[in-house]
Structure 1
Amino acid sequence: MSQTTLTTLSPDWPCQVKSPGNPDWERTATRWLRDLLPARYAGYSTLTRHPALLARHAQLQLQYEMRAVQVAMTTSRAELPTMGMVEAVIENTIRLYAVELEQLSRLARGVRLVTEALVATTTSPRRR
């Protein structure tokens, strides 16, 4: 329980997800996690019926999104001029990628916390 309490006190805990132990907290976690994924994943009942599995997939999805943004940011100065982009557009694009990378990092921290809480909830009856 202390791990769950610490999780809910973190500033990285997503405000859209109720704290563990509250009624419907897993439902709010599932909805939030599902919203992080591309819409096509909503149709996979295996993911939506198993919140910890959904959380794992959301972690992977965010990792790949972060890699894509990092590649886009680091290649902007070399590739965007060949596409006819002017310096001001390139600089704005790099700033956009930096903001997006920070947002994705914040989401990834939240997903990690929710995952830990879901796994603790899922495995706690077996530990007893």
Structure 2
Amino acid sequence: MSPTAPTTTSLSPDWPCQVKSPGSRDWERTATRWLRDLLPARYAGYSPLVRHHVLLARHAQIQVQHEIRAVRVALQTSRAELPTLGVAPAVIENTIRMYAMELEQLGRLARGVRLVMEALMDDGPTSRRTTAQRR
């Protein structure tokens, strides 16, 4: 196997299917596209996030964490607050199920972002420099 050939290690089940395996051709491009899609559109023009993939991953991680907190609050307050808004009991139950499913999805996203961020850090120039310094 040549030193530039992609590794064939198995990926975690939490690895996003939209992102190619680390080491494969264009994997970083697919990772940054996926990470950008997790952020509000207005962030696409911020040059630090566009130029520095690890910063993009960090911001996506923070964004997903905030979404998790928001959904948890919505879930925890549904039974108390939705009736006062005139929402029917059946709709409240469906809303609670929706929030629970969204929390699961956000948990998977958070794990995926963490994995992609770690892979980007492993592939970055600082990790190579650190590895070379240890030798």
Q: TM-score band (shorter)?
A: over 0.9
TM-score, length basis structure 1: 0.92
Aligned residue pair count = 124
Residue by residue over 1:86-128, the C-alpha shift from the partner in whole angstroms, topping out at 9 and shown as x without a partner, is 1101101000100111111001110000000001111332121
User: C-alpha distance in 2, partners of 1:91/1:44?
Assistant: 40
User: C-alpha distance in 2, partners of 1:50/1:38?
Assistant: 17
Structure with greater Cα Rg:
2
Alignment of 1:11-90 (within 5 A): 11-90=13-92
Shift of 1:29: 0.4
> Is the partner of 2:15 in helix, strand or coil?
coil
Partner of 2:127: 124
Partner of 2:116: 114
The answer to whether the aligner puts 1:91 opposite 2:93 as a matched pair is yes
Which runs of at least 4 in structure 1 moved beyond 2 Å after TM superposition?
A: none
Shift of 1:5: 6.5
Give 5+ residue unaligned stretches, structure 1: none
TM-score, length basis structure 2: 0.87
Give 5+ residue unaligned stretches, structure 2: 1-6
Q: Which amino acid aligns with 1:119?
A: M
User: C-alpha distance in 2, partners of 1:5/1:109?
Assistant: 21
Report the RMSD for the aligned CA atoms in angstroms: 1.3
User: C-alpha distance in 2, partners of 1:47/1:100?
Assistant: 26
Q: Which amino acid aligns with 1:98?
A: A
User: C-alpha distance in 1, partners of 2:97/2:44?
Assistant: 31
